[in-house]
Structure 1
Amino acid sequence: MTILASRCAVAAAVALCFAAPVQAQTDTVVISGSRFASDPSLLPIGATTITAAEIRRAGASDVNQAIRKIGGVYGRQSLTGSPDFGLDLRGFGTNSDQNVVIVVDGVRLSENEQISATLSTIPIDLVERIDIMRGGASVLYGEGATGGVIQIVTKRPKNGEHSGNVFTELGQYKSGEVRGSVVQGFNGFAIDASAGHQRTDNYRANNDFKQSRFNGGLHFDSGFGRVSLRADIARQDQRFAGGLSEARFNADPRQTLTPNDFGKMDSDRYTASWEHKVGAFDLAAELSHRKKDVDSYSFGSMYSYESKQSQFSPRVRHLAQFGGLLNELVTGFDFGHWNRVSESKYSAADATQRSKAIYVRDELKFGGRQQFRLAAGARRELFDKDTVDLPFNPNYSVKQAHNAWEVQGSMLAAPGLTAWAKAGQSYRVANADDNASTPLQNKPLQTQTSHDAEIGLDYAAGPFKADARVFRHNLENEIYYDPTIAPYGTNTNLAPTRRQGVELDGRYRFAPAWEVQGHFQQVDAEFRSGPNAGRELALVPKNTVTVRLAWLPSNGQSADIGVQRVSKQRYGGDFDNSCDARMPAYTTVDGRYARKFGQWELALTALNLFDKDHYSQAFSCRGGIYPDNGRQLKVSARYDF
């Protein structure tokens, strides 16, 4: 029996359950795994869902922090001082950001660069829920979805709704934030707006971060469907603390060796969406445009670029009922255009990527209470990439075509117990930064493909709910940085690799005022053949555990405490497993206590409560260390109206 099969007695049809019900309810709408609005009772089985109430109770100040602390997703310290940590689903190490797709209200936020999605620009007070779906999902979401998909769903204003809040917070390291939001619904028309400013010196010297943002939306309901227009505008200023050696970290983790390095980013994102129901057909589309200007000064040199990205995603769903059989057919197109123009003494590249895709997915639900589900889907995507960087390198023009597929199934095995299984193929294409440094000049990297398999069990009974999943990803041509390639290392396609492991999620309300929830992941990331067969991949902790305990009495008080344990992992540069040390394991604790007084809420929040010196980002053996933050205490006040 294989490792997967032996572990898999725990798990069997997750993606299949990514389907929508017959009709979305007006006031309880989310974006489901089928990319259509659905009732939350039919969210994907096996997904981790973070609610707005959990976000507020834990005191998460931004979406990225909520995903890490409540969702149990491992994150690596940002290199820029921003709160946008690198998020890692299923142990993809250095390139984890490029193996997870971030979606906000149906619009892809993930970048075509080697950087993290800017989740800090999303107003946390307008988030309705966050759904974390682990595992390959390229059929619906395209390239880069091997590790999984994180969907952020914002609140929908209701007819006649009037609400808002003002929030202010002060904390150590000269941190402070002021933000406010308002929602006003009329008959067939609604608006929402949010604005905020935050700043912090952060834990380390020369690591200041400032951000101002505005987010606003207009929503119209008419005989032609629901139309939404949205603007998300952010301005960031950052200072870069740089890396440290192990000796310098042990002497003073707060120091910097790059006191003059800095950067800034201006980001503008505009989105128009439409949805309409015609009989058994649901129609939807999003059109978005994002512009980003970045300037940075490091290593004594200035680097600037402007990038623009446009997306258009029309789709249709047909629902048909035949006795006890419900059939859901979803098909759609994804069109994308991305361009970046760079300016520095070592590059003046003009890089462009165009993509177009078609996908189809069909799901059958039958039996009482939809006891059985079967689904299959496929995607075909074409890419056209060009880079001109005369007289430098790279210079190339390439066309690529890639396919994804999935087959999924689930069944109600016993009262409260659902088993699921899925198999499929996902892919990731090399982005402009991947292809900027390759083993052969002017030759782009090959596409990374992954054959994905997963089985699982979901059990829910009264106050108890638990999921267990066993997974395996066998990858070909994984895109990765190899520091052993002369003379300075380069991005390359690796020999065959594998990610496999176990994930457990659970929650239990063991008393009216007490609830505990947790997430555990064990993952093996290694070469499965080639000269490095059996060696571990870097920056992948074997075990991560997150546990949260909430106290919710009915007298206006609340408390929430969380513990996260991260095991040892290989240093980022330890490609051949030759380093004589590993990054140390660490445990951090955060907590929050809040008390309501009418419409006011006062709170005290503690991050890294026991002031544990640790780091999650290190790029060479005992070096290139970016320390995580030490203990930070914050006080906040919030007024709801």
Structure 2
Amino acid sequence: MTFITSRCALAAAIALCFAAAAQAQSNTVVVSGSRFASDPSLLPIGATSISAADIRRAGVTDVNQAIRKIGGVYGRQSLTGSPDFGLDLRGFGTNSDQNVVIVLDGVRLNENELSSATLSTIPIDMVERIDIMRGGASVLYGEGATGGVIQITTKRPQAGERSGNVFTELGQFDSGEVRASVVQGFDDVAFDASAGHQRSDNYRDNNEFKQSRFNGGVKFNTGVGRFSLRADIARQDQRFAGSLTEGEFNANPRQTLTPNDFGKLDSDRYTAAWEHKIGAFDLAAELSHRKKEAEASYFSQFGVFQSAYDTRQTQFSPRVRHLGQFGGLLNELVAGFDFGLWSRITHTAFSNDKASQRNKAVYLRDEVKFAGPQQFRLAAGVRRELFEKESVNPNPFIADAVLVKQANNAWEVQGSMLAAPGLTAWAKAGQSYRVANSDENGFTVQSKPLQTQASHDAEIGLGYAQGAAKIDARIFRHNLDNEIYFDPTAGTFGANTNLAPTQRKGFELDGSYRFAPEWQVQGHFQQVDAEFRSGPNAGRELALVPKNILTVRLAWLPSDGQSADIGVQRVGQQRYGSDFDNSCDARMPAYTVVDGRYARKFGPWELAVTALNLFDKEHFSQAFSCRGGIYPNSGRQLKVSARYDF
């Protein structure tokens, strides 16, 4: 805890500085904690919340963009041209997606493969809020939650509610989007439906992206609880621009060396959910089934390489909560099970793998809030999860069959107290874990399955919320053993391995301040050191981890129907993806991008103009080799939009 202790004074000074500038009024945001809607006095400690109003004001068009531009989460350029950037909490580099759990209305969206959650298929107009909880959270959310959890909550139609909207947008790079949504609520039944189509040539040659989607659901109340059924269906067509060397990027970042590569992705998700309250007990469960079919074709001088993947995943998550008062104490006890079944059939020239995974988990978490002026809270939880992974491949170049059984444990302890009016201090410690997915176990040294990644997590922080100001300052450390990572120096062509002991440690700052009735500023800063703790690379930095990231947004909100929002993000230097021994003579350059939006309402209409990368900064966030393997980010893009609410 030496590193954490050394920065306590800095966190305290910043929080107290904001406290002095604030007014005496509390700022309460209801977010989802304990996998149930939280009691206002048991909100998750240190969470960042993005509201529907924040999303509307910033003019973001998809959930991934909202998380990056408003929540301050670092994102890496998609390799397929889709808007689903790789999301990185706390500097996990190449495998950042595998160290963040994404949850939509209680359903885990992560896959057992090296792919990002397709957040672009979620209708942005139906999002009520997005909660970002940084740090280890495997007790409640299972494997892969070392970096944190991002929870997306959609709107619930109220009895008698009837609303909807139509949106259209046109922009540079031949981009366009049309979407519409409607909500209708009755006494005991409500439904919602949303449909949309978007397309863009994107910034680079041969990088066209198209998507059509439909999302719909029905909710109804009965004598035995609230039931809901939902369908989310999306179809994507993609063209792959491929990577560039540094020289090619400097000459023309928009060019492609793979003008014929393309692919498609079809995804269907069906969900049934139930919740019921019996006295002091809350019961809930979700049953979800996802089907995903992906195809890709890659052209080279040696011919055409084609691949196809057919993936199925079923999840069932029943749970119960007891919330009660005991002698002036408020106690929340949560227990539940998670069951999962995942399978994939692969068809390529080199693999006809049939892979599957079964997992089952039980968890228990208790939190108590003690009566008194200090509002002291103490929480503890444990989780036990069993995995069974199987892979059968008739291809002679790969092991015929692999069967892996793993048992994993997670725990957490955290406490907080009101140190002064509006000022909360907290500390957290725990253990989180991640298991290798099917893609990672399929490409290892000597085809040997990887061990479980374990992380010992610690955090201390100060939070202040009074009147117009809200700020959280956190100092964290993750000590990892057997971190699962692609090592370019392993084997002949590189391989997925368990690394020697590694570490992430750093400082985070989140804040917002309304300094005038019409003006509000909010921001996020992250400083992280990612390095090897021991082994042959001891003390060396891990690749693809920016040391500093700063995101700031300024909003102008007069009462005459106008609004303006401008955001700035500064990303510091980072090592190229292959630079394990820190021998590359260059680092990926730092960059600053600015985006903005101005909107004006005319009755039910809203007209807006949006600028992304306003100053046309040439930059890249994804590069897999020293001065190469570069996937450029987009240059300046201007868009105009119209929205009609009814």
TM range (shorter): over 0.9
Displacement of 1:452 in angstroms is: 0.1
Aligned match of 2:609 in 604, 609, 625?
Answer: 604
User: 1:556 & 1:176 partners in 2: Cα distance?
Assistant: 25
Displacement of 1:39 in angstroms is: 5.0
User: 2:30 & 2:104 partners in 1: Cα distance?
Assistant: 11
Structure 1 gaps of 5+ residues are 13-27
> Any conservation in 1 of the 2:572–2:589 contact (CA below 8 Å)?
yes
User: 1:327 & 1:188 partners in 2: Cα distance?
Assistant: 31
> Any conservation in 2 of the 1:547–1:562 contact (CA below 8 Å)?
yes
Aligned-partner residue type, residue 406 of structure 1: E
Displacement of 1:9 in angstroms is: 4.7
SS in 1 for 2:55: helix
Aligned match of 1:531 in 536, 540, 545?
Answer: 536
Displacement of 1:575 in angstroms is: 1.2
What TM-score does the superposition give when structure 1 sets the normalisation length?
0.96
The residue that corresponds to 1:216 in the other structure is 216
> Any conservation in 2 of the 1:29–1:37 contact (CA below 8 Å)?
no
> Any conservation in 2 of the 1:521–1:544 contact (CA below 8 Å)?
yes
Displacement of 1:44 in angstroms is: 1.4
User: 2:44 & 2:323 partners in 1: Cα distance?
Assistant: 18
Displacement of 1:358 in angstroms is: 0.1
User: 1:316 & 1:334 partners in 2: Cα distance?
Assistant: 12
User: 1:402 & 1:507 partners in 2: Cα distance?
Assistant: 38
- What does residue range 459-538 of structure 1 map to in structure 2 within 5 Å? 459-538=464-543
The residue that corresponds to 1:255 in the other structure is 255
Matched, 1:345 2:323: no
> Any conservation in 1 of the 2:311–2:342 contact (CA below 8 Å)?
yes
User: 2:504 & 2:220 partners in 1: Cα distance?
Assistant: 45
> Any conservation in 2 of the 1:11–1:454 contact (CA below 8 Å)?
no
Q: Comparing 416-425 with 297-306, which one deviates more in the overlay?
A: 297-306
> Any conservation in 2 of the 1:31–1:105 contact (CA below 8 Å)?
no
User: 2:40 & 2:316 partners in 1: Cα distance?
Assistant: 26
Displacement of 1:179 in angstroms is: 0.1
User: 2:373 & 2:251 partners in 1: Cα distance?
Assistant: 61
Change (3 A) 1:10 1:152: farther
Displacement of 1:461 in angstroms is: 1.6
User: 1:225 & 1:539 partners in 2: Cα distance?
Assistant: 47
- What does residue range 35-114 of structure 1 map to in structure 2 within 5 Å? 35-38=35-38, 42-114=42-114
Displacement of 1:139 in angstroms is: 0.1
The residue that corresponds to 1:122 in the other structure is 122
Aligned-partner residue type, residue 102 of structure 1: I
Displacement of 1:10 in angstroms is: 6.0
The residue that corresponds to 1:434 in the other structure is 440
Q: Comparing 363-372 with 529-538, which one deviates more in the overlay?
A: 363-372
User: 1:512 & 1:11 partners in 2: Cα distance?
Assistant: 28
User: 2:9 & 2:417 partners in 1: Cα distance?
Assistant: 14
Change (3 A) 1:383 1:130: same
> Any conservation in 2 of the 1:292–1:307 contact (CA below 8 Å)?
yes
Matched, 1:562 2:567: yes
Displacement of 1:391 in angstroms is: 2.8
Displacement of 1:342 in angstroms is: 0.4
The residue that corresponds to 1:378 in the other structure is 382
User: 1:598 & 1:45 partners in 2: Cα distance?
Assistant: 39
The residue that corresponds to 1:25 in the other structure is none
Deviation digits for residues 317-373 of structure 1 (CA, Å, limit 9, x no counterpart): 112212310111100000000000000111100000000000000111112477011
The residue that corresponds to 1:573 in the other structure is 578
Deviation digits for residues 365-385 of structure 1 (CA, Å, limit 9, x no counterpart): 112477011010000000000
> Any conservation in 2 of the 1:9–1:456 contact (CA below 8 Å)?
no
Displacement of 1:239 in angstroms is: 0.2
- What does residue range 112-511 of structure 1 map to in structure 2 within 5 Å? 112-299=112-299, 300-368=304-372, 371-392=375-396, 393-394=398-399, 395-441=401-447, 443-511=448-516
SS in 1 for 2:33: coil
Change (3 A) 1:42 1:369: farther
> Any conservation in 2 of the 1:31–1:106 contact (CA below 8 Å)?
no
User: 2:35 & 2:224 partners in 1: Cα distance?
Assistant: 20
Aligned-partner residue type, residue 619 of structure 2: H
Aligned-partner residue type, residue 141 of structure 2: Y
What TM-score does the superposition give when structure 2 sets the normalisation length?
0.95
SS in 1 for 2:46: coil
User: 1:47 & 1:556 partners in 2: Cα distance?
Assistant: 31
RMSD: 1.3
User: 2:558 & 2:361 partners in 1: Cα distance?
Assistant: 50
Q: Comparing 364-373 with 537-546, which one deviates more in the overlay?
A: 364-373
Aligned-partner residue type, residue 287 of structure 1: L
> Any conservation in 1 of the 2:31–2:131 contact (CA below 8 Å)?
no
Displacement of 1:40 in angstroms is: 5.8
Change (3 A) 1:41 1:248: farther
User: 2:605 & 2:333 partners in 1: Cα distance?
Assistant: 47
Aligned-partner residue type, residue 511 of structure 1: A
> Any conservation in 1 of the 2:139–2:411 contact (CA below 8 Å)?
yes
Deviation digits for residues 449-477 of structure 1 (CA, Å, limit 9, x no counterpart): 00000000001121011100000000000
The residue that corresponds to 2:629 in the other structure is 624
User: 1:174 & 1:383 partners in 2: Cα distance?
Assistant: 46
User: 2:596 & 2:240 partners in 1: Cα distance?
Assistant: 28
Displacement of 1:8 in angstroms is: 3.6
Change (3 A) 1:541 1:138: same
User: 1:166 & 1:132 partners in 2: Cα distance?
Assistant: 28
Displacement of 1:42 in angstroms is: 4.6
In the alignment of these two chains, the number of paired residues is 625
Displacement of 1:43 in angstroms is: 3.0
Aligned-partner residue type, residue 613 of structure 1: E
Q: Comparing 40-49 with 52-61, which one deviates more in the overlay?
A: 40-49
SS in 1 for 2:543: coil
User: 1:327 & 1:606 partners in 2: Cα distance?
Assistant: 48
Displacement of 1:11 in angstroms is: 6.6
Displacement of 1:6 in angstroms is: 1.1
Change (3 A) 1:329 1:40: closer
SS in 2 for 1:96: helix
Deviation digits for residues 550-600 of structure 1 (CA, Å, limit 9, x no counterpart): 000000000000000000000011111110000000000000000000000
The residue that corresponds to 1:591 in the other structure is 596
Aligned-partner residue type, residue 33 of structure 1: G
Deviation digits for residues 416-452 of structure 1 (CA, Å, limit 9, x no counterpart): 00000000000000000111111122x2100000000
> Any conservation in 2 of the 1:324–1:368 contact (CA below 8 Å)?
no
Structure 2 gaps of 5+ residues are 13-27
Q: Percent identity?
A: 79
> Any conservation in 2 of the 1:10–1:470 contact (CA below 8 Å)?
no
